[in-house]
Amino acid sequence: DGGITQSPKYLFRKEGQNVTLSCEQNLNHDAMYWYRQDPGQGLRLIYYSQIVNDFQKGDIAEGYSVSREKKESFPLTVTSAQKNPTAFYLCASSIRWDFAYEQYFGPGTRLTVT
């Protein structure tokens, strides 16, 4: 089956710990994205990658880091510098950056930091 996988579905961490969220796609898409969703705030772009070995900051990149060493993978690290890390994190991909509208979303990871 083709698609985007995110793991784990639920993640619990203590404050002060870094945590890495996995995102893998087998759609052969060039572009990948990370969003954060909080209640009542819609989706906000954290980072995006137009192509392998390249990535750009989105609107709320502070406290996050990413890598894009392989086309299929775009992991997101939530660092201890992120002040409010508890949220629903969504990974998405599209064929190319200029086909951003056809974004396919993964199932999401719900991160809780206490």
Partner 1 sequence: QKEVEQNSGPLSVPEGAIASLNCTYSDRGSQSFFWYRQYSGKSPELIMFIYSNGDKEDGRFTAQLNKASQYVSLLIRDSQPSDSATYLCAVMGGGNKLTFGTGTQLKVEL
Contact segment (CB under 8 A) with partner 1 among 12-20, 21-29, 76-84, 96-104 equals 96-104
Binding mask 4-43 for partner 1 (x = CB under 8 A): ------------------------------------xxxx
Q: Does 86 bind partner 1 (CB under 8 A)?
A: no
Structure tokens at 9: 């579905």
Cβ(33)–Cβ(103) under 8 Å? yes
CA pair distance 44, 108, nearest whole angstrom: 14
E strands, the chain, are: 4-7, 10-13, 19-25, 31-37, 43-49, 56-57, 64-66, 76-78, 87-94, 104-105, 109-113
Tell me the closest approach of the beta carbon of residue 28 to partner 1, in angstroms: 19
Binding mask 42-81 for partner 1 (x = CB under 8 A): xxxx------------------------------------
Please tell me the count of residues contacting partner 1 according to CB under 8 A.
Answer: 17
Q: Does 95 bind partner 1 (CB under 8 A)?
A: no
Length of the chain, please?
A: 114
Cβ(25)–Cβ(50) under 8 Å? no
Q: Does 103 bind partner 1 (CB under 8 A)?
A: yes
Interface residues toward partner 1, by CB under 8 A: 40-45, 90, 97-98, 100-103, 105-108
